[in-house]
């Protein structure tokens, strides 16, 4: 529909970026390829008014697909159509960008002019494998436009950047390169590695880690890329590759993946799984716990305490993460000094109940084994124990609601936790 509408207006429409790469990668493979994100570029204009071409095509599509939401990003003349509940895919995005090249004051049927416009658009992209276009309009519809050797790089399984300054222009591309390399099992091409190295050594990340330097747009994009990495199934290999390239410096210049942090990260995975299972078994809702967020917090917790809050804010983590990291050192000191002397379950509960599960996991990972075990026992066995009688039972037993109510319930909980009372009848005796 979009390409017919473009043809009618004398424009050219291309499928670009990740969808072209994924289609080429899927060639000859069995199974279904799901593409949730479709990037289109329209160009070939002959009048200034055509700069809104992307928006116009998106509106044509929306007339046909009325259940799609239309978003227009004026400054860049791009339009996005979004299906939140697409019948076959969970969600579907179609972005239509108007090629930002100036219009040509004559019909752009001239292939050289046309090629130079889409070529420039593709040249602004990150890697050769992401810089190919598939023409959707005739003549020559279905033709692959591959100016930079993307297809050869796909075949050779290599991530190659388009120009030497690419990483200086946009350091998030280092993260993207790592993500694509690990996700597809590709190697980062040797020159590209050298450019990454050069960019990092020339202080490209200083912009994001220095005090008082505000580059929120870059930080937002870095956070998005980092989140993609730490939430992907291949996060361990990706972090390792980032570290090998020296790119973890983007989080903080002192951050390195040493054997301790690697061990903690592995242990964290186990703890999260066991914890979530134990919540399920006890049929309790676990507190909001995103494994990717925990992984990032653990990386930041590996830094000296004085850097943690600033790094968490730079990465625009959620307020609960920032607060946790801010108070972590203090909480850890308290737990490590007081928990060893807590022998009774009620004493453990009394000390730990003011902390949420993610906090306790971070503290546990950074504590000696004996402390870790007690925290663990608390999280999986004690945290959700309820007194054997509740407020309603007390009322039925003739107690009037009063401040002493809470004290009685606390005493009942202590007795329940420590095994002094084992069932309801013992609880009633206990009250008497």
Per the structure block, which two tokens stand in for 183? 């996700």
Is 130 an interacting residue with respect to ligand ATP (CB under 6 A)? Answer: yes
Binding positions for ligand ATP, 24-83, rule CB under 6 A: 37, 39
Is 170 an interacting residue with respect to ligand ATP (CB under 6 A)? Answer: yes
Strand (E) or helix (H) holding 82: strand 78-83
The residue within the footprint of ligand ATP, chosen from 173, 227, 308, 374 (CB under 6 A), is 173
Strand (E) or helix (H) holding 376: helix 369-377
Is 149 an interacting residue with respect to ligand ATP (CB under 6 A)? Answer: no
Interacting stretch for ligand ATP, rule CB under 6 A, among 51-59, 168-176, 339-347, 385-393? Answer: 168-176
Is 418 an interacting residue with respect to ligand ATP (CB under 6 A)? Answer: no
Tell me how far apart the alpha carbons of residues 398 and 405 are, in angstroms, rounded to a whole number.
12
Give backbone dihedrals phi and psi of 96, rounded to 5 degrees, phi first: -120, 115
Q: Which is nearer to ligand ATP, 232 or 336 (CB)?
A: 232
b/e sequence 396-429, b meaning 16+ C-beta within 10 Å: eeeeeeeeeeeebbeebbbbbbeeebeeeeebee
Interacting stretch for ligand ATP, rule CB under 6 A, among 124-132, 235-243, 308-316, 319-327? Answer: 124-132
Q: Which is nearer to ligand ATP, 129 or 239 (CB)?
A: 129
The residue within the footprint of ligand ATP, chosen from 10, 18, 246, 391 (CB under 6 A), is 18
b/e sequence 267-292, b meaning 16+ C-beta within 10 Å: ebeebbeebeebbeeeeeeeeeebee
The residue within the footprint of ligand ATP, chosen from 98, 172, 208, 249 (CB under 6 A), is 172
Tell me how far apart the alpha carbons of residues 18 and 40 are, in angstroms, rounded to a whole number.
11
Q: Which is nearer to ligand ATP, 22 or 426 (CB)?
A: 22
* CA angle 197–202–208, rounded 5-degree value: 100
Query: Which DSSP symbol is given to 52?
Result: G
Contacts of 110 (CB under 8 A, 6+ apart): none
Interacting stretch for ligand ATP, rule CB under 6 A, among 42-50, 69-77, 166-174, 339-347? Answer: 166-174
Interacting stretch for ligand ATP, rule CB under 6 A, among 172-180, 309-317, 376-384, 408-416? Answer: 172-180
Is 137 an interacting residue with respect to ligand ATP (CB under 6 A)? Answer: no
Interacting stretch for ligand ATP, rule CB under 6 A, among 82-90, 169-177, 212-220, 375-383? Answer: 169-177
**Which parts of this chain interact with ligand ATP (CB under 6 A)?**
17-18, 37, 39, 125-126, 130-131, 170, 172-173, 176
């Amino acid at each position: 529909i979009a390409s017919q509408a473009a043809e009618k207006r004398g424009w050219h429409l291309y499928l670009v970026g990740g969808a072209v790469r994924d289609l080429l990668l899927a060639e000859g493979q069995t199974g279904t390829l799901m593409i949730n994100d479709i990037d289109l570029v329209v160009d070939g204009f002959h009048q200034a008014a055509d700069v809104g071409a992307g928006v116009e095509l998106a509106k044509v599509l929306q007339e046909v697909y009325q259940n799609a939401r239309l978003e227009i990003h004026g400054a860049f003349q791009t339009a996005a159509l979004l299906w939140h509940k697409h019948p076959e895919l969970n969600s579907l995005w179609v972005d239509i960008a108007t090629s930002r090249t100036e219009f040509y004051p004559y019909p752009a049927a001239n292939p050289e002019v046309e090629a130079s416009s889409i070529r420039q658009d593709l040249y602004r992209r990150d890697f050769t494998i992401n810089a190919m276009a598939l023409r959707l309009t005739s003549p020559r519809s279905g033709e692959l436009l591959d100016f930079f050797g993307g297809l050869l790089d796909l075949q050779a399984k290599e991530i190659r950047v388009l120009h030497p300054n690419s990483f200086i222009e946009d350091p998030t591309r280092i993260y993207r390169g790592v993500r694509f390399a690990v996700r597809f099992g590709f190697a980062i091409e040797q020159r590209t590695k050298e450019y990454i190295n050069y960019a990092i050594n020339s202080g490209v990340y200083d912009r994001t880690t220095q005090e008082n330097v505000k580059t929120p747009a870059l930080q937002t994009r870095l956070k998005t890329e980092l989140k993609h990495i730490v939430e992907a199934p291949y996060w361990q290999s990706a972090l390792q590759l980032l570290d090998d390239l020296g790119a973890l410096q983007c989080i903080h210049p002192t951050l390195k993946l040493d054997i301790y942090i690697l061990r903690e990260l592995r242990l964290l995975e186990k703890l999260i799984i066991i914890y979530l299972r134990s919540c399920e078994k006890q049929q309790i809702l676990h507190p909001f716990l995103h494994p990717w967020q925990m992984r990032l917090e653990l990386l930041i917790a590996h830094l000296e305490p004085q850097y943690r809050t600033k790094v968490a804010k730079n990465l625009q983590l959620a307020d609960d993460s920032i607060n946790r990291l801010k108070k972590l050192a203090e909480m850890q000191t308290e737990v490590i000094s007081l928990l060893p002397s807590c022998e009774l379950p009620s004493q453990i509960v009394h000390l730990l109940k003011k902390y949420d599960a993610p906090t306790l996991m971070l503290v546990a990972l950074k504590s000696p084994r004996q402390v870790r075990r007690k925290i663990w026992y608390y999280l999986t066995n004690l945290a959700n124990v309820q007194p054997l009688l509740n407020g309603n039972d007390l009322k039925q037993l003739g107690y009037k609601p009063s401040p002493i109510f809470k004290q009685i319930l606390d005493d009942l909980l202590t007795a329940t936790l420590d095994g002094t009372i084992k069932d309801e009848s013992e609880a009633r005796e206990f009250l008497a």
